[in-house]
Structure 1
Amino acid sequence: MKKIFFSDKYSLTQAVLDNRKTMTRRVCKYDRPNETYDIVFPVFEPNDYDNDGNIVSPLNYAFGWKNDKGDFTGWNIPKYKVGEVVAVAQRYKDVVEKRDEAQETLCLYKIGEEYLTMEEMGAGWNNKLFVRADLMPHHIRITDIKIERLQDISDEDCFKEGIFKWDAGQKDIPFYSFHNADIPDYNDSRDAFAELIDKVSGKGTWASNPYVFVYEFELID
């Protein structure tokens, strides 16, 4: 099983667990080199389909860039697939269950259905990059994938990304923000998302307007 990571600093993991975030954008590996390149998609053969007509090729939803000289950038391949169940990565310290007296004596911690020592958990105690996907208690299912430029995000999708609206006591003047933002309010949901994506993916991400895979998902546990 794969893992998916959301920012804890900006409370995006919690937003997923609260069903306030149901979408995520991930920058594609290859951007369009220049105007001589056109977008290209794979051509599927009969053996790329299952008996129900579903595409089972690893290049499903993939795309690349190719110019009239035959120069090709390589395939942008989505990490996740529609219907795939993915574990939401969390630090072990955030998901450990209360130990009973016997396990306290043995210095064992219950994570999922297993008891682990602090040594076995290692760096995963404080860093979710090192946790096991099969021990994570929460999972999402990918329900849709699309490809678009980052700046093409709609207001509706901003809210799916975890941006929230509030009125600051003035119901006729809505503001938009995200947790731990440098300023508490933005006048536009897209402005708030632009700041958030720069925080999460690196300064200048919004301005560079890369192509992104847009994953929509549902929390299943």
Structure 2
Amino acid sequence: MRKERPILFSTPMVQALLAGRKTMTRRVIDEPWLITFLNRMENAYSKADLPDTLKRIVTDKKNDGGFEVPCKNGQIGDLIWVREEHNIKLNGNYVQCLFKDLGAVMLPFSEISEKALNNIKKRKTLGKWQRARFLPKEFSRIWLEITDIRIERLKNITEEDSLREGVEMIVSKDILNGLYKNYQKDNSGFLTPVGSFLSVWDVINGDKSHESNPWVWVISFKVLSTNDKPENVDKEAATA
């Protein structure tokens, strides 16, 4: 039975989702035992064999190691609802939720769970911009479905995957093919999408954080909806 899980996206990556550029995300693996295991795997296998070996460990319950490595962000087939920056206001018997791109969701009190509605009414931040992690599930407008999961080092990312991560091309009068956006500096860019991706990684995860080259979950997905939970999703999905 697949589950419904939340995931946080920064405003630039939400914009990439809405523009149809983003179909992949990378999340740091932070479990010490798993990092130790992956380091040992890296030393035991050649660079050519390692990707297939790691893929088998993630997807095959009867892998060589005798166990399945779980991804805490979800499994293939799970539904993902996006948390993003938001501004919640009360409007009569309705709750209005604004987003950075000027999109909005408005729900009557009757369509909001009692627990969520009580929490909203108690907020001291009504009418102010809030971090993504505080977005209630009822107001998530972007829904995704996980289609693939694998493990790799962050800096092993390819140009193709950098584009799937949603990096933006900016117009350049000097270079025929343009530049890829530098998310850390205005009015500058990169010749390849990989540099652009690493710049947005550092904006989200901390300056120069890419230099440690962490192990990451590589999660591919398809966008099911950008304007509310789709009606035709599997009704058997369970809330995580």
TM over 0.5: yes
Deviation at 1:181, TM superposition (A): 3.7
Paired letter, 2:143:
H
Aligned pair in 2 of structure 1 residues 44, 84: CA closer, same or farther (>3 Å)? closer
Match of 2:196 in 1: 192
Match of 1:15 in 2: 16
Deviation at 1:137, TM superposition (A): 2.1
Deviation at 1:157, TM superposition (A): 0.8
Cα distance in 2 for partners of 1:35, 1:109 equals: 46
Deviation at 1:25, TM superposition (A): 0.4
Paired residues in the alignment total 184
Deviation at 1:208, TM superposition (A): 0.8
Please, which of 74, 78, 85 is the counterpart of residue 80 of structure 1? 74
How do 1:170-209 and structure 2 match up within 5 A?
Answer: 170-178=174-182, 181-209=185-213
Paired letter, 2:224:
I
Deviation at 1:138, TM superposition (A): 1.9
Question: Is the 8 Å Cα contact of residues 190 and 196 (structure 2) preserved in structure 1?
Answer: yes
SS of 1:93's partner is: strand
* TM-score scaled by length of structure 2: 0.63
Match of 1:164 in 2: 168
SS of 1:191's partner is: helix
SS of 1:159's partner is: helix
Cα distance in 1 for partners of 2:214, 2:39 equals: 17
Paired letter, 2:161:
D
Paired letter, 2:82:
V
Match of 1:89 in 2: 83
Cα distance in 2 for partners of 1:35, 1:141 equals: 26
Match of 1:143 in 2: 147
Which segments of 5 or more consecutive residues in structure 1 lack a partner in the other structure?
46-58, 63-75
Cα distance in 2 for partners of 1:180, 1:205 equals: 13
Aligned pair in 2 of structure 1 residues 109, 34: CA closer, same or farther (>3 Å)? closer
Paired letter, 2:8:
F
Deviation at 1:211, TM superposition (A): 1.0
2:95 matched to 1:109?
yes
Aligned pair in 2 of structure 1 residues 77, 138: CA closer, same or farther (>3 Å)? closer
Question: Is the 8 Å Cα contact of residues 5 and 78 (structure 2) preserved in structure 1?
Answer: no
Which segments of 5 or more consecutive residues in structure 2 lack a partner in the other structure?
43-53, 97-104, 110-116, 226-240
Q: Which structure has the higher relative contact order (CA within 8 Å, separation 6+)?
A: 2
Question: Is the 8 Å Cα contact of residues 184 and 200 (structure 2) preserved in structure 1?
Answer: no
* TM-score scaled by length of structure 1: 0.68
Question: Is the 8 Å Cα contact of residues 2 and 133 (structure 1) preserved in structure 2?
Answer: no
Paired letter, 1:145:
I
SS of 2:14's partner is: helix
Cα distance in 1 for partners of 2:138, 2:77 equals: 18
Match of 1:65 in 2: none
Deviation at 1:132, TM superposition (A): 1.8
Deviation at 1:174, TM superposition (A): 3.0
Higher helix share: 2
Deviation at 1:165, TM superposition (A): 2.5
Greater Rg over alpha carbons, structure:
1
